[in-house]
């Protein structure tokens, strides 16, 4: 510090001003590059529920390097949040091509297809997800629901039971299992499933309604 004071004392006014400017430059935060700023802004807009604005920002990120995996994945996720399920499905497919071993774009694709009630395609996506990650909760639970919606109630029961072996306290899965048994005409078994769900979550709407169907 003494050396700095000595230097300042002997500097002429213009040189002193230059030294201060250099010091302020060193202390200033580095400028954020446009791509990083666009990515940061996309999260801020997402948190404000402005998914369209967030998508515009992410397209700036994507345009900077269209071969990158993450921008494709994030665009798909924002399209999902914006309820543009068809666009999300295509974006998840593109992300899956960029990272051929990744499970997350397949799970996203599965959700986008289920949301469109495209259950044939959703079943294929679910099977693909579980081939990559056999005990994935989202892959199993969505595929169980897909089986139910495709009237494959036996397969739905089997998969709901597998999920519950890993997550025994999941009231939604117990309710789903109950409806699958109910569809097979097993009212007594279904009633037990609904009661189990309500023992975990007493105000579970689906299990409450299901219990009524068992009478």
Domain ranges for the chain, please list them.
Answer: 33-132, 151-215
pLDDT in tens, 20-40: 444 554 555 556 788 999 999
159-168: average pLDDT: 98
CA angle 180, 183, 188 (to 5 degrees): 80
> Could you give the dihedral angle defined by the CA atoms of residues 49, 52, 58 and 64, in that order, rounded to the nearest 10 degrees?
-160
Superfamily, domain 151-215: Tetratricopeptide repeat domain (1.25.40.10)
- Say whether pLDDT at 9 is over 90: no
33-132 and 151-215 share one CATH topology?
A: yes
Beta carbons of 165 and 140 less than 8 angstroms apart? no
Share of the chain above pLDDT 70, in %: 85
**Which pTM value belongs to this model?**
0.83
Token pair of 32 as six digits:
């954020």
Helix axes 69-81, 34-47, angle to 10 degrees: 20
> Could you give the dihedral angle defined by the CA atoms of residues 128, 133, 139 and 143, in that order, rounded to the nearest 10 degrees?
50
Residue 36: CB atoms within 10 A of its CB come to 12
Question: Considering only the top CATH level, what class is 33-132?
Answer: mainly alpha
- Say whether pLDDT at 112 is over 70: yes
């Amino acid at each position: 510090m003494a050396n700095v004071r000595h230097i300042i004392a002997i500097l002429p006014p213009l040189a002193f001003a230059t030294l201060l400017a250099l010091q302020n430059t060193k202390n200033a935060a580095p400028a954020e590059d446009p791509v990083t700023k666009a990515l940061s802004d996309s999260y801020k807009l997402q948190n404000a529920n402005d998914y369209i604005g967030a998508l515009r920002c992410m397209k700036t990120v994507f345009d900077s390097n269209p071969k990158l995996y993450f921008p494709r994945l994030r665009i798909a996720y924002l399209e999902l949040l914006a309820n543009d399920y068809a666009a999300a499905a295509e974006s998840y497919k593109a992300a899956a091509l960029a990272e051929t071993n990744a499970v997350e774009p397949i799970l996203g694709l599965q959700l986008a297809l289920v949301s469109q009630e495209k259950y044939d395609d959703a079943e294929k996506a679910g099977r693909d997800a579980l081939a990559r990650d056999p005990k994935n909760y989202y892959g199993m639970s969505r595929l169980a629901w897909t089986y139910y919606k495709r009237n494959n109630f036996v397969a739905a029961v089997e998969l709901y039971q597998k999920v519950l072996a890993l997550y025994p306290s999941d009231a939604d899965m117990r309710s789903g299992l109950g409806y699958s048994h109910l569809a097979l005409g097993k009212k007594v078994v279904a009633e037990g499933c609904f009661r189990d769900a309500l023992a975990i979550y007493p105000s579970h709407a689906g299990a409450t309604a299901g219990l009524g169907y068992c009478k």
